[in-house]
Structure 1
Amino acid sequence: MSQSPTPSSASSHPPDGGLPAWPTRTGPAVAPSEDSFSELVRGICFKTGPPRTVGVELEWLVHDAADPLREVSADRLRAAHTVLKDLPLNSLFTVEPGGQLELSSAPAPSLAVCVEQVSADMVVLRGALAALGLRVTGLGTEPSLPGERLLREPRYDAMERYLDRAGPAGRHMMRSSASVQVCLDAGYEEPGPQGHHRRWRLAHLLGPVLVAAFANSPVLQGRLTGWRSTRQSLWAAIEPGRSAAPPLDAEPRRAWTERVLDAPVMCVRAEDGPWDAPRGLTFRDWVRGGGPRPVTEQDLAYHLTTLFPPVRPRGHLELRMIDAQPGEDGWRVPLAVTCALFDDAESSETAYRLVKPLAERATGGPAPHNALWRDAARSGLADPELREAATACFATALQALPRLGVGEELTAQVDAFAERYTRAGRCPADDFLDTCLDIRPGRGPAEGPAAHGTVRGEDAPA
């Protein structure tokens, strides 16, 4: 929920609490209208052009270096943030509401440069944390009981109150989740394998494959949830007005514009007092005069930062469905695989053919509120069709990486991940589960990271 990298075709991209740059207007000022707001959304959310640059956002949970189950106090986290914010990094450093750390890379001209720059930043970040007795952990959800919300700002106060209306899933997402978000250029204006319409569709069909292959959050608040990706199940439990994708078969700009205007308003910025929005107010209602005050273009910019679909167009495409990954450099694998399947033209066409049949399972609603996305989050690659698609996609990506100028080390890392997990029908969550469960029939959790909790039903993470 903070700054995204800005590929070359996108406008400047601030933190979620900030405001994007709008298209330059000429001529006399006019009062905003529904048509003018629609024009703004269409103009800033799909910046088309040759796919050239790549970025990544890495969210991390923060744990005690000696005892990862020991609660890290809010005062200790705040003290660490004071030190970390002054580190000499290429990436933007920010803090999430629950105290998670995030690095948002600068837009890089290639996958190799992106990996090199962010890897260097991670060395600096880990070193600074180690000096404080802390470490970052790559898991999609916090396995222990979380502490208080660290950030107390009007935006996050209003967000939590809004999300609480639909249940605790939004609160868990804010305080207890972490991800790897891949940012890619939207693509050409013209039709074709690298056109923005095709890349938009590919992102939504490949999305559940990425969820399943990189699922890494089977535990939440000390309890096994029954999901390989509890983090993804939390997003699906948030009300669709906030988290659902627009209709996939519609023209992307038009569909997203309608989605933005019809989405509920989460908060109304104010000089003083709470930022709570009236219940049931959509942005379209506000534009038509139904809000607490006249709406402005800055309100639209802010509204865009409060929408959380699995693929968010912010000039570039922001793929938000991948759990944080284990290990010091596990994040490199989903970044490399995703970039290879999008930015190598041959692989992009192959990947689209591989995942296109999955659309038949995407029944019951838009992503992530449908059967395909739920199956991916619950079963990971234990789902045979997702395992087949993921295995083929990894093979395609491995063929593409040399063409993208990637070195042998990263290619070998992707291949090792595929051998350990994808080809075996496993995901990182399965490693975590192996440490938590005694697999003999009739036994519950064994000693391990989740042993102090109980096994819950499949639909209980929220």
Structure 2
Amino acid sequence: MTDSPTTAHEPIGDPRTLVEHLASGCRPVEDWKIGTEHEKFAFRLDDRSPVPYEGEHGIGALLRGLAERYAWTPEYEGDNVIALKRDGCSITLEPGGQFELSGDLLDHLHQTCNEVNSHLAEVRAVAEPMGLGFLGLGFHPTAKREDIPWMPKARYRIMRAHMPRVGSLGLDMMTRTCTVQVNLDFSSEADMAAKFRAGLALQPIATALFANSPFLEGKPSGYVSYRSHIWTDTDPQRTGQLPFVFEQDFGFERYVDWMLDVPMYFVRRGGRYIDASGQSFRDFIDGKLPALPGERPTLADWDDHLTTAFPEVRLKKFLEMRGADGGPWKRLCALPAFWVGLLYDAGSLDACQQLIADWSTEALATLREDVSRDGLRAEIGGRTVREIAGDLLELAQQGLGRRKRLNAAGDDETGFLEPLHATVESGRTPADKLLELYDGEWSGSLEPLFRTRAYY
């Protein structure tokens, strides 16, 4: 399908244009790509404290160092470097200085893992001489909310002011969480809907497999994925399970209807972010947005608005799988392997749909809360998540095997699932292992965590 005929900066007067814009993301199967994104916490090697933007050893200096040494092109907001671009990749900053790589659109998982390894090597080479390290975890294990320095990005100032109006944990989501996600293509509206349903229903299983955030301000939190728990009280109007996805008529138009009712955060004009928090995109289409009276939105405004919703599967011109904690590098490769094996193979996708067919939206909502606390021990439909995860890994293994994407050594993509097989076989999530170390070898200290789980 070709791109929408409406250009990015042409005013929109008909919501149907928004539907066509999402539908323009449909790609033939042979053109499907894999895009992986992952975040990590920066910390000072000497005292394990979070890293501010400013200073010769700050996040800004790190970005400038990467640009100079590895030919990244810097992007600015005012005088501040706030992102880097190179060869289809970008490095961006989350509100609390979490470093994010948004990877290129790649053909297979061998390329994905090479990209991850190259990125971590570059970051380490620049960061270590500055006395900085990076930690792979889903929630900051020691820092309090007030300990986290905010990055100088205007959109975050708007969100920071708005978040406390709609939930008690939104600021923690912004500053103290890290995730890994994969972005996947679809061939048609029906294919999108099938992948969205399967992905949304199975997202709690991924949350359990990747649970890696058991600590809150230096102590066990009572959750194996405190990052996942954070989303239960961030903003109910833009998060959650999206029950309408499981309705028979779900498609691009239904998602657009939902997004039109998600309150706005901002509008960008002339390099400035204009506060439109709580205002309606429907009013914007009618030329009645209080922040910009008389103006109508463009597709660029719509694309910005799509980024301000946070369901565990998010639709743009592709689908984002968003339910996993950040973690060590092997799991950064395992997350895309899990979803590619399940959703990019017709047989595995069909089996996923059969598996979830009897799961009610109420049961899924309960499961979403239970896995953040109980991980693989949570249950749905009379089965444990551990059992279901074993079935899904077998389906993913088969799906990846049928893809037959080989590296130079002749290996297919199934090896990237090995860390997840080990998790299911042991019944212990990464968080469970961290808690065992905390109670045992580490004697209640989290100082060793910054050595053993850092990207050195």
2:151 corresponding residue in structure 1 = 151
Q: SS in structure 2 opposite 1:330?
A: helix
Q: SS in structure 1 opposite 2:393?
A: helix
* CA–CA separation in structure 2 for the residues paired with 1:273 and 1:95: 18
1:418 corresponding residue in structure 2 = 421
1:342 corresponding residue in structure 2 = 343
1:84, distance to aligned residue in structure 2 (A) = 2.3
1:382 corresponding residue in structure 2 = 377
1:324, distance to aligned residue in structure 2 (A) = 0.5
2:308 corresponding residue in structure 1 = 306
- Output the amino acid matched with 2:264: V
1:173, distance to aligned residue in structure 2 (A) = 1.2
1:158, distance to aligned residue in structure 2 (A) = 0.6
Aligned 1:31-180 pairs, distance under 5 A:
32-33=12-13, 36-44=14-22, 47-51=25-29, 52-65=32-45, 69-74=48-53, 75=55, 76-86=58-68, 87-88=70-71, 90=87, 91-145=89-143, 147-180=147-180
1:156, distance to aligned residue in structure 2 (A) = 0.9
- Output the amino acid matched with 1:372: L
Q: SS in structure 1 opposite 2:28?
A: coil
Per-residue displacement from partner, 1:238-276 (whole Å, max 9, x unpaired)? 222122454122412122111111111222446699733
1:312, distance to aligned residue in structure 2 (A) = 1.1
1:109, distance to aligned residue in structure 2 (A) = 1.7
* CA–CA separation in structure 2 for the residues paired with 1:386 and 1:261: 34
Q: 1:221 aligns with which of 207, 217, 221?
A: 217
Aligned 1:420-459 pairs, distance under 5 A:
421-437=423-439, 446-449=443-446
Q: Residues 272 and 329 from structure 1, CA distance in 2 versus in 1: closer, same or farther, beyond 3 angstroms?
A: closer
Instruction: Provide structure 2 residue ranges, at least 5 long, that are not aligned to the other structure.
Output: 72-85, 449-456
Judge conservation of contact 2:51–2:97 (CA < 8 Å) in 1. no
1:215, distance to aligned residue in structure 2 (A) = 1.1
* Greater mean deviation of Cα atoms: 311-320 or 340-349: 340-349
* CA–CA separation in structure 1 for the residues paired with 2:5 and 2:272: 32
TM-score, normalisation: structure 1: 0.80
Judge conservation of contact 1:10–1:185 (CA < 8 Å) in 2. no
* CA–CA separation in structure 2 for the residues paired with 1:399 and 1:306: 35
1:14 corresponding residue in structure 2 = none
1:235 lines up with 2:231 in the alignment: yes
CA root-mean-square deviation: 3.0
Q: Residues 351 and 273 from structure 1, CA distance in 2 versus in 1: closer, same or farther, beyond 3 angstroms?
A: closer
1:396 corresponding residue in structure 2 = 395
Q: SS in structure 2 opposite 1:217?
A: coil
2:6 corresponding residue in structure 1 = 25
Q: Residues 261 and 413 from structure 1, CA distance in 2 versus in 1: closer, same or farther, beyond 3 angstroms?
A: closer
* CA–CA separation in structure 2 for the residues paired with 1:255 and 1:287: 17
2:78 corresponding residue in structure 1 = none
Q: SS in structure 2 opposite 1:92?
A: strand
Q: Residues 329 and 129 from structure 1, CA distance in 2 versus in 1: closer, same or farther, beyond 3 angstroms?
A: farther
Q: Percent identity?
A: 27
1:289, distance to aligned residue in structure 2 (A) = 4.7
1:161, distance to aligned residue in structure 2 (A) = 0.8
- Output the amino acid matched with 2:305: H
Judge conservation of contact 1:77–1:99 (CA < 8 Å) in 2. yes
Judge conservation of contact 2:209–2:420 (CA < 8 Å) in 1. no
- Output the amino acid matched with 2:162: Y
Q: SS in structure 1 opposite 2:237?
A: helix
- Output the amino acid matched with 1:330: R
Judge conservation of contact 1:45–1:314 (CA < 8 Å) in 2. no
- Output the amino acid matched with 2:201: L
Per-residue displacement from partner, 1:356-386 (whole Å, max 9, x unpaired)? 34x22x318xx8xx21211122211022421
- Output the amino acid matched with 2:5: T
Number of residue pairs the alignment of both structures matches:
410
* CA–CA separation in structure 2 for the residues paired with 1:274 and 1:102: 21
Judge conservation of contact 2:42–2:50 (CA < 8 Å) in 1. no
Q: SS in structure 2 opposite 1:275?
A: strand
* CA–CA separation in structure 2 for the residues paired with 1:136 and 1:45: 38
Aligned 1:267-346 pairs, distance under 5 A:
267-269=266-268, 275-277=274-276, 279=278, 281-292=279-290, 293=293, 294-297=295-298, 298-326=300-328, 328-346=329-347
Per-residue displacement from partner, 1:58-108 (whole Å, max 9, x unpaired)? 1111123465x3443443233222212443465311121211111111101
- Output the amino acid matched with 1:316: F
Q: SS in structure 1 opposite 2:254?
A: helix
Q: Residues 415 and 221 from structure 1, CA distance in 2 versus in 1: closer, same or farther, beyond 3 angstroms?
A: same
Judge conservation of contact 1:10–1:44 (CA < 8 Å) in 2. no
Q: SS in structure 1 opposite 2:152?
A: coil
1:46, distance to aligned residue in structure 2 (A) = 6.2
1:458 corresponding residue in structure 2 = none
* CA–CA separation in structure 1 for the residues paired with 2:233 and 2:426: 29
* Greater mean deviation of Cα atoms: 238-247 or 172-181: 238-247
1:4 corresponding residue in structure 2 = none
1:418, distance to aligned residue in structure 2 (A) = 1.3
1:311, distance to aligned residue in structure 2 (A) = 1.0
* CA–CA separation in structure 2 for the residues paired with 1:406 and 1:372: 36
1:10, distance to aligned residue in structure 2 (A) = 9.5
* CA–CA separation in structure 2 for the residues paired with 1:45 and 1:244: 23
1:363 corresponding residue in structure 2 = 362
Instruction: Provide structure 1 residue ranges, at least 5 long, that are not aligned to the other structure.
Output: 1-8, 12-22, 440-444, 452-462
TM-score, normalisation: structure 2: 0.81
Per-residue displacement from partner, 1:167-213 (whole Å, max 9, x unpaired)? 44111111111111101102334x4xxx2221111111121111111
Judge conservation of contact 1:172–1:234 (CA < 8 Å) in 2. yes
Q: Residues 40 and 391 from structure 1, CA distance in 2 versus in 1: closer, same or farther, beyond 3 angstroms?
A: same
Q: Residues 201 and 64 from structure 1, CA distance in 2 versus in 1: closer, same or farther, beyond 3 angstroms?
A: same
Q: SS in structure 2 opposite 1:215?
A: coil
* CA–CA separation in structure 2 for the residues paired with 1:272 and 1:424: 51
* CA–CA separation in structure 2 for the residues paired with 1:204 and 1:266: 24
1:335, distance to aligned residue in structure 2 (A) = 1.4
- Output the amino acid matched with 2:444: E
Judge conservation of contact 2:49–2:143 (CA < 8 Å) in 1. no
Q: Residues 31 and 60 from structure 1, CA distance in 2 versus in 1: closer, same or farther, beyond 3 angstroms?
A: closer
* CA–CA separation in structure 2 for the residues paired with 1:141 and 1:85: 28
* CA–CA separation in structure 1 for the residues paired with 2:23 and 2:393: 29
